[in-house]
Structure 1
Amino acid sequence: MKRSVAADADAPGLSDHAAAIRALAQASAGDLQTTLRDLRTVLLSADPRALRRSVGFWGRLIGRDIRLAAEARSLRERSGILLRQAGFEAERLHRQHATLSGHAQRLRDACVQLQQEIDSLARRQAAAEGGTPAGTSRLAHLVTLRSAYEITASQLDLVAANALAIAERHAQQLPRLCVLLDQQQGVAAGAGHGMQLSSAMRTIDELEAHIEHLPVPSAAQATAAQRTQPQEAP
């Protein structure tokens, strides 16, 4: 006789685990990266030679520099909006850190409850001669759940730490970037401002590289963490 999934609905943390998986799936710094790349294009528009160099020989051959220049002209009119958008994205990453950290703590609390239930069931199984098949199955299931919660909590910690690191790095660089972008018209007016253009582009490149070089959960961890639903047991 099989026990249905619904029979395990009383296991601690099942809903918290499902919510944590959804939060992980929604966590991303991609919007901030997109905004930073748009800002970089705006900066490139101040130096046509730098813009042409950025697409390489083959890019120039197929006219990518022409398309990029047109895109830059459009984005240049929105540079102030892009800066504010980048700031909003950094704030969202702060909130993302708090949300993911909260999920991780709830899963750790559920792990404590699961361990108590595991210990209690293990004692009952030991007291019975050889235990019961249902008890053995339940015990194995609870141990699997606890392991899944621990893996997901570790993933949450990693992604939350990354979100906070990106937000804090952005907070450090944003005032400098605002000043440099304000000077963009002067950069376009004369070569004497080339240093400011270079500095602004380095700032954006450093921010984007910081995002790209942060660690991510391994595929094996992600696969294990997605096992949120208990399996049927004999």
Structure 2
Amino acid sequence: MKYNRILLKLSGEALAGEQGHGISADVLTNIATEVKELQAMGVEIAIVIGGGNIHRGVAGATKGMDRTTSDHMGMLATVINSLALQDSLERHGINTRVLTAIDMQEIAEPYIRRRAVRHLEKKRVVIFAAGTGNPYFTTDTAAALRANEIDAHVIMKATKVDGIYDKDPMKFKDAVKIDKLKFIDVLNKGISVMDSTAISLCMDNEIDILVFNMFEEGNIKRAVMGETIGTIVTNK
């Protein structure tokens, strides 16, 4: 395997599937099936999920809501998504722990780095919820931060397209896929892979980001095995 410990970044919108909002049971089942296969291979898996299918902090702020309040609502949305994914994973026989950046011990463990690493070493899937616990930071930044803290080998950013293109492939048929990008180019050209804080954090600590299509069956396994899929963002 090319990667033994990965952090999988899922958007809240991806959990909604084709229905566009809420949580799709079919998407949860598909994710659980792929994660179970990876776990059987011995891969240590951490997951960060967004909350955009329920509430987006920035969107709430643009409609007049206080940004800090809106961001805290978004963090709670990620906890809802994390508990839904945990339930699906455990129904597939996968031992799972949800760790939250906001203390809510009745439903999840508080985030402690050493505890998270220990869970991974025991081959439990760890789901990081509530972002960083701070407003004004996205779940992209939370993914980059947690990946650094647990010494993940790569961040796998699951999207609806099979990588990064020179322009929107949903709008332009002549869009060209880019197989490899450098972090500095992503920042200089303003390419929307992850927000600039997350990109800078990964660049400074040399954690690659793999952008790939999560809806193509077996893609995560192919990436872990070192096959060329999606777009890799790297310092190398």
Could you tell me the TM-score, scaled by structure 2's length?
0.26
Task: Compare relative contact order (CA 8 Å, sep 6+) and give the higher one, 1 or 2.
Answer: 1
TM-score, normalised on structure 1? 0.26
Q: Which has the higher helix share?
A: 1
By percentage of residues, which structure has more strand?
2
